[in-house]
A and B are shown apart, each in its own frame.
Chain A
Amino acid sequence: MLTGLSAFEIAAKVRAKEVSCVEVAQAFIDRVGQLDGQYGAFLRLAPETTLEQAAAVQERVERGEAGPLAGVPIALKDNISTLGIETTCASKILEGYVPPFNATVVEQILAADGVVLGKTNLDEFAMGASTETSAYQLTKNPWDVTRSPGGSSGGSAAAVAAELAPVALGSDTGGSIRQPASLCGIVGFKPTYGRTSRYGLIAFGSSLDQIGPLARNVEDAALLASVTSGKDPRDGTSLPNPPIDISALKTRSLKGMKIAVPDEMFGDATSPEVQAVIEAAMKTLEQEGVLFTRVSIPSIKLGVTTYYIIAPAEASSNLGRFDGIRYGLRAEGKGHIDLVEKTRSAGFGKEVKTRIMIGTYALSAGYYDAYYVRAQQVRAIMQQEFAQVYQDYDFVLSPTSPITAFKIGELNQDPLALKLLDYCTIPANMGGMPGISINAGFAGGLPVGLQLLAAPLEDESVLQAAYAMEKALPSASGRPPMP
């Protein structure tokens, strides 16, 4: 079946003219139509645009000019701006908003001859870890539809796991690519901060946000990462480095690889069943020659607090732009301020309001030094501690999520428990490090993700290591129960 193929396989078949781009696009549009009622992964498709783009790519295929993503349909998290396709951030405040421009990553995908398939569900403004704060719909985990796919890129993760798209883009502010990838048994990669342009990504925490791929194997994730990286003059935080180079993806041996395993991400920090799967995977990798060393990185324990000050502080500022005047929802009000207040109150959901409130509080007079400045100092300590570890080790390994996929609704009465799901993923955002989650095995029939972190700009290395690990852990791959 076409829809079960990897992105690499699709592009190869398209280039070999075994199948046309339009056939590929139509196969995915049909599959989403048939199955997404069960999963709720997509907020919307844009079949006309998709088929138009596919037809244009096919012309280039005929001329022998097709790019690396030739005809590959790509699902985009709905906080990534798409020209002419509604983009809502799963919020009522942006209902009906149609961006007048494409995000840089979308331009890059189109330039590589990929095709936009549709927009996927997320926690409202990417604030959450279960995709339950979406103002529109719930997304279900393809491994067990009574469970959450994780979040906030839960729609992208579910779409890829259920073969509704070969690959997808998500965004990761505190783990929002890696955690849902882990819960859905797929690969999720957050590049080094600055390697992928944020232009057109509707901002949440600007110093933490990074766009990255979700895929069913490391090779596909690497392909999409290579296409969507590189310097972008429209993003002032974009790094001058060239795009992520994947030409040496398959060359790295596990033999002699030095990996640090932080005590703070094991032991009591992780559920016993997740830990058992990760330890079994480590044993296998050890037999392949990986050298694991237990280390201590004390600041990891401060990550969640630091994140829940810095991210809401940045969000409270970023979300100030939603005022009902230039785009999005507009409520009636008596005068300008009343209109703005009523618009924001009607348009934002509870979780978004909570984060705006926390952020505003942490930045307000009298608390700025105690919370925001101090969190920035702890962030510096965390960066220093990780930098020290990277002097002696190639990578840091941990579970991605402390637990497997949880029941929908199970954690949303306990907001702190939900926030702890990012415990192992937050340090990568704080330090700008690249991080990847690959599946390590299963616990009770549910996938368990393994996270690999590396020093900033080591994107190529971390992808190479993840590729080698994926090959060494064949029993970790699987397909959810579905047609």
Chain B
Amino acid sequence: MATIAPALHSVTKMKVTTLKAGRCITCIMGLPLLSDQAPYPRREIEEAQVHLTPMAITLEEVRHVAKLARLDLDEGEIVYFQSELNALIGHFSDIQKVDVAGIVPTSHAVAMQNVWAEDIAEEGLPRVTALRNAALHRAGLFVVPQIIED
């Protein structure tokens, strides 16, 4: 089964479209975008390949991630996503080189402390309104498949 190949394949594919479109996809890694006229520098193509190959994600990992994401993918999709993920995650390598020692990760755009709401009772959605968009409901409840076996 092809585990490494899709990563290399996506490099080739990207290289071709990049040359044709005249835009450098590798600036995702901090490399320049080129004009239509400029030849694509060989050194950067090689770098792109170096970044991609060691990151290859296996088909098994793709299946595992799909399971975590609650997506039911067929075999064709598994192969497709392997190639997509390898291509994208290959490009994530630029941040691996950044010196982040002592940098506190920030999860937010604007620093905020705990936010408290006033403790006031408010009307919720009426039950009938809340159920209106459900594909199946009965006796004022959402209908779900049986979860616990008999």
Interface residues of A (CB under 8 A from B): 96-98, 100-101, 192-194, 207-208, 233, 236-237, 239, 267-272, 301-302, 304-306, 308-309, 316, 320, 323-330, 333-342, 344-345, 348, 353-354, 356-358, 360-361, 364, 370-371, 373-381, 383, 402-403, 410-411, 413-417, 419-420, 423, 429-432, 456
Question: Closest Cβ of chain A: how far from B50's Cβ, in Å?
Answer: 16
**B68:A364 contact, CB within 8 angstroms:** yes
State the CA gap A361–B89 with chains docked (Å). Answer: 10
Contacts known (A268-B32, A336-B144); A345 close to B98, Cβ less than 8 A: no
Contacts known (A308-B92, A324-B135, A378-B98); A207 close to B81, Cβ less than 8 A: no
Interface residues of B (CB under 8 A from A): 14, 17-18, 21, 23-25, 27-30, 32-35, 57, 61-62, 64-66, 68-73, 77, 81, 84-85, 87-89, 91-92, 94-96, 98, 100, 103-110, 112, 115, 117-118, 125, 129-130, 132-136, 142, 144-147
State the CA gap A339–B14 with chains docked (Å). Answer: 37
Question: Closest Cβ of chain B: how far from A389's Cβ, in Å?
Answer: 17
Q: Give chain B residues whose Cβ lies under 8 Å from the Cβ of A344.
A: 69-72
* Partner of A357 from B34, B81, B94 at Cβ < 8 Å: B81
Question: Closest Cβ of chain A: how far from B7's Cβ, in Å?
Answer: 14
* Partner of B70 from A328, A337, A380 at Cβ < 8 Å: A337
Q: Give chain A residues whose Cβ lies under 8 Å from the Cβ of B91.
A: 305, 308, 416
**A381:B98 contact, CB within 8 angstroms:** yes
**A345:B72 contact, CB within 8 angstroms:** yes
* Partner of A376 from B29, B64, B106 at Cβ < 8 Å: B106
**B133:A414 contact, CB within 8 angstroms:** no
Question: Closest Cβ of chain A: how far from B13's Cβ, in Å?
Answer: 8
Contacts known (A361-B85, A423-B27); A380 close to B103, Cβ less than 8 A: yes
* Partner of A207 from B25, B107, B146 at Cβ < 8 Å: B107
**A420:B33 contact, CB within 8 angstroms:** yes
**B65:A416 contact, CB within 8 angstroms:** no
**B130:A413 contact, CB within 8 angstroms:** no
Contacts known (A360-B69, A377-B103); A101 close to B89, Cβ less than 8 A: no
**B129:A100 contact, CB within 8 angstroms:** yes
**B109:A354 contact, CB within 8 angstroms:** no
Interface secondary structure of A, over-half rule: helix
**B32:A101 contact, CB within 8 angstroms:** no
Q: Give chain B residues whose Cβ lies under 8 Å from the Cβ of A233.
A: 117-118
CB-based nearest B residue for A322: B70
**B23:A417 contact, CB within 8 angstroms:** yes
Task: Please list 14 pairs of residues, one from A and one from B, whose beta carbons are closer than 8 Å in the complex, sorted by A's number.
Answer: A97-B133, A98-B132, A304-B27, A323-B70, A335-B147, A338-B145, A345-B72, A348-B71, A358-B85, A380-B106, A417-B23, A420-B27, A420-B28, A432-B109
**A306:B109 contact, CB within 8 angstroms:** no
CB-based nearest B residue for A310: B107
**A414:B69 contact, CB within 8 angstroms:** no
Question: Closest Cβ of chain B: how far from A406's Cβ, in Å?
Answer: 9
CB-based nearest A residue for B131: A326
- Residue of B21, B134, B135 contacting most chain A CB atoms (<10 Å): B135
Taking A326-B142, A335-B145, A374-B98 as given, write out 19 further A-B residue pairs in contact, using a Cβ cutoff of 8 Å, ordered by the A residue number. A98-B132, A100-B133, A236-B115, A239-B110, A306-B95, A320-B70, A327-B133, A354-B84, A357-B69, A357-B84, A361-B57, A371-B92, A374-B95, A377-B104, A383-B106, A414-B14, A414-B17, A415-B87, A429-B109
CB-based nearest B residue for A334: B145
Question: Closest Cβ of chain A: how far from B52's Cβ, in Å?
Answer: 12
* Partner of A416 from B25, B103, B112, B134 at Cβ < 8 Å: B25
CB-based nearest A residue for B118: A233
State the CA gap A102–B146 with chains docked (Å). Answer: 34
CB-based nearest A residue for B16: A414
**A377:B135 contact, CB within 8 angstroms:** no
State the CA gap A26–B125 with chains docked (Å). Answer: 33
**A336:B133 contact, CB within 8 angstroms:** no
Contacts known (A345-B72, A357-B65); A432 close to B110, Cβ less than 8 A: yes
State the CA gap A393–B65 with chains docked (Å). Answer: 45
**A414:B115 contact, CB within 8 angstroms:** no
CB-based nearest B residue for A352: B71
- Residue of B109, B115, B146 contacting most chain A CB atoms (<10 Å): B109
**B33:A415 contact, CB within 8 angstroms:** no
**B134:A345 contact, CB within 8 angstroms:** no
State the CA gap A100–B69 with chains docked (Å). Answer: 27
**A208:B27 contact, CB within 8 angstroms:** no
**B100:A100 contact, CB within 8 angstroms:** no
Q: Give chain A residues whose Cβ lies under 8 Å from the Cβ of B81.
A: 353-354, 357
Which 10 pairs show the lowest CB-CB distances between chains A and B?
A432-B109, A268-B32, A376-B105, A327-B133, A330-B135, A301-B30, A193-B109, A341-B72, A377-B100, A416-B25
Q: Give chain B residues whose Cβ lies under 8 Å from the Cβ of A417.
A: 17-18, 21, 23, 25
State the CA gap A269–B26 with chains docked (Å). Answer: 11
Q: Give chain A residues whose Cβ lies under 8 Å from the Cβ of B33.
A: 268-271, 402, 420, 423
